[in-house]
Chain A
Amino acid sequence: MRLSRWALIVVVLLVAAVVGVAYGTLRLTPLEVLHGALGTGSATQVVVVRQLRLPRVLLAALVGAGLGASGAALQGATRNGLAEPYLLGVSGGAAVGAVIAVALHAPAAVVPLAGLVGALAAVALSLVVARASGGQGDARVVLMAGVVVGAFANAAIMVALAGVDANAVRGALWWMMGSAADATWGQVRALAVYVAIGVGALLALARAIDLLALGEDAAAGMGVDVARVTLAVYVAGALLAAGTVAAAGLVGFVGLLVPHLARMAGARTHRSIIGAAALGGAALTVLADLVARVAHPPAELPLGAVTAILGVPFFLSRLRRLT
């Protein structure tokens, strides 16, 4: 990918971040935002900018980066342009793990780990389902297995929520629709660790994913341990899904959309596709979160609803090309 394209993505991300911090339901002038950020404004301005908007924009960016990179690697490793954590049921599995942890009153730090267990279980389950049907090489079968696992995850969450009081159900549904509204610096720090490890691992696997994309036999012929690389990609993808789900719930279609945009921008090797999808996913999610915040005052829209409205038409156009 040309340097100018990289520069463009970085500029879009920076502009999205600045707009995200500067703009919100509470109208602040650019000068007030600056004072808030520097800690020299009024107490309200300082808290709104430093404790509400900055962590929120950073959390949305990290969620988008994790989902974008995860989607790019999963699409490459499965040779399936429709693969992404949400559609493969990985995010749903993470949500089940997280809901169970919350229902058992586990400490907050354990929730992403429970999500990781759920995400890995979902990966294993969809691979087993696909293998049992004899179609693990068929992109459509893997995808369908993922959709089934996702539906099962939703059902499991509904069972876990039976008998919980109405406001708690409303809270859980809200979380399942995805939202960065509750962002804290602690969450930003925790997710940064997950994203750094997950995206770092995927970048390290990028060369092997390039070879996998040629086909399993071709990759094996060039000395790639296909099973190990595929597993490593799934584990890293599950790690990213678990981290993002614990931080912001289920945010779909970012992992589908941005890898395609990265390829359209000229990214060819998986090192650049994953890198560009991470940056592009961050920009897209920050902008989607801004829409979620200001589109329907005084309420907020769920972030996952905004990304789905963007992503579903794109998914349908891709589906036509695939079949």
Chain B
Amino acid sequence: MFFASHTGRVAIALSWSALALLGACRTDAPRAAGAHDDFGDAIASAPTPPHRIVSLNPTTTELLYAIGAGDRLVGRTTWDLYPSQVRDVPDLGPGLRPNVEAVIATRPDLVILYASDDNRDAARRLRAAGIRTVAYRVDRIVDFARVTQALGALTGDTVAARVTVDTVQRTLARVRAATATLQHPAAFWILWENPLLAVGGGSFLNELLTAAGARNVYDSLPGPSPAVSFEDLVRRDPDVVLASPESRRHMLADPRWQALRAVRDGRVLVFDTTIVNGPSARVGASAVSLARLLHPGSI
């Protein structure tokens, strides 16, 4: 049972990414009808594009603004803070295990959830209430492309979605080309201090690091933010550390961090903390800022 649904989901993910890759040479039929979301559930067709959208994932919220559908939002999560207009949209609480009643109360005609198992129950209840509900996993850069196009199909503006995807992918290609021949330093990207959480191989930030010309010392760990021990980090001996301004301050004040060669050599770089939420339409700009940080003058 698990296997069947799992392989089904993989097949869907593969076909979506294939669509995203082949997008340029494929004429665009509306994909909302007959398509499936990342839970593998069929997406209900609708006679008209939605006008009251609830997006319970900061990344899909950002994508809706990027493709020009932001003014149709009637609900968001507490963590949706970008772009700044989103603060005027009602805050419905968490995006995982959301308050289903609060969502229904906004009378939405489309609800977009994050496709985590925590949200399966909410999806079922919302559909039972007659609300068109879709769930997308937006964890990797490849997810960005396919989810943006899926949102374009849902909101009825596939052209804006295509332009957004193409712009980001052109920028990413430019960054990759600029850093391809440079030496890739071993990097440690700290997400949290206690417990120590690193960017792992399952995060789009790992892909950003690679594009920007670095090698993540924890890219072999499958999770997006695995917990690691300090001694293990010392053993992996990164050349450079990426930290938030706050973490960097703590690192420089704490004698224990002197165990890291990168800290002793002053190679603690401050990344732009607004990029860590998810692979949104800013992912191209994020790659540029990261490449400039790691390889000044490269791009």
The reply to whether A298 and B229 form a contact with Cβ atoms under 8 Å apart is yes
Q: For the complex, what is the distance from the CA of A286 to the CA of B89, rounded to whole Å?
A: 52
> Nearest Cβ distance between residue A57 and chain B, in whole angstroms?
13
Give the 5 A-B CB pairs with smallest separation, nearest first: A47-B259, A298-B232, A25-B231, A51-B256, A26-B231
Please name the residue on chain A nearest to B79 by beta carbon.
A165
Which residues of the other chain, B, contact A298 by a CB distance below 8 angstroms? 218, 221, 226, 228-229, 232-233
- B68 an interface residue at 8 Å Cβ cutoff? no
The reply to whether B231 and A174 form a contact with Cβ atoms under 8 Å apart is no
- Mark B225-263 against chain A: 1 for CB-CB distance below 8 A, else 0: 111111111110000000000000000001110111100
- A272 an interface residue at 8 Å Cβ cutoff? no
- Mark A270-292 against chain B: 1 for CB-CB distance below 8 A, else 0: 00000000000000000000000
> Nearest Cβ distance between residue A164 and chain B, in whole angstroms?
10
Given the contacts A25-B235, A43-B258, A167 and B79 also touching, CB distance less than 8 Å: no
> Nearest Cβ distance between residue B143 and chain A, in whole angstroms?
19
Within 8 A of A (CB), among B43-70: none
> Nearest Cβ distance between residue B229 and chain A, in whole angstroms?
5
Please name the residue on chain A nearest to B237 by beta carbon.
A44
Interface residues of B (CB under 8 A from A): 78-79, 191-192, 194-197, 218, 221, 225-235, 254-256, 258-261, 264
Which one of A26, A43, A171 lies within 8 Å of B192 (CB-CB)? A171
> Nearest Cβ distance between residue A183 and chain B, in whole angstroms?
9
Please name the residue on chain B nearest to A171 by beta carbon.
B194
- Mark A18-36 against chain B: 1 for CB-CB distance below 8 A, else 0: 0000001111000000000
Which residues of the other chain, A, contact B218 by a CB distance below 8 angstroms? 298
User: Of B196, B197, B230, B260, which is in contact with the most chain A CB atoms at under 10 Å from its CB?
Assistant: B230
The reply to whether A51 and B229 form a contact with Cβ atoms under 8 Å apart is no
- A7 an interface residue at 8 Å Cβ cutoff? no
The reply to whether A174 and B256 form a contact with Cβ atoms under 8 Å apart is no
Which one of A48, A167, A182, A299 lies within 8 Å of B234 (CB-CB)? A48
Which residues of the other chain, A, contact B226 by a CB distance below 8 angstroms? 298-299
> Nearest Cβ distance between residue B99 and chain A, in whole angstroms?
12
User: Of B232, B233, B258, B260, which is in contact with the most chain A CB atoms at under 10 Å from its CB?
Assistant: B232
The reply to whether A52 and B259 form a contact with Cβ atoms under 8 Å apart is yes
Within 8 A of B (CB), among A179-205: 179, 181-182, 184
Which residues of the other chain, B, contact A51 by a CB distance below 8 angstroms? 255-256, 258-259
User: Of B195, B221, B232, which is in contact with the most chain A CB atoms at under 10 Å from its CB?
Assistant: B195
Within 8 A of B (CB), among A117-174: 163, 165, 167, 170-171, 174
The reply to whether B234 and A44 form a contact with Cβ atoms under 8 Å apart is yes
Which residues of the other chain, B, contact A47 by a CB distance below 8 angstroms? 255-256, 258-259
Which residues of the other chain, A, contact B258 by a CB distance below 8 angstroms? 43, 47, 51
- A297 an interface residue at 8 Å Cβ cutoff? yes
Provide 14 A-B residue pairs closer than 8 Å at the C-beta atoms, listed in order of the A residue: A24-B231, A25-B232, A26-B232, A26-B234, A43-B261, A44-B260, A47-B256, A48-B259, A52-B259, A165-B79, A167-B225, A174-B194, A184-B256, A299-B227
Given the contacts A170-B197, A171-B195, A297 and B264 also touching, CB distance less than 8 Å: no
Which residues of the other chain, A, contact B196 by a CB distance below 8 angstroms? 181
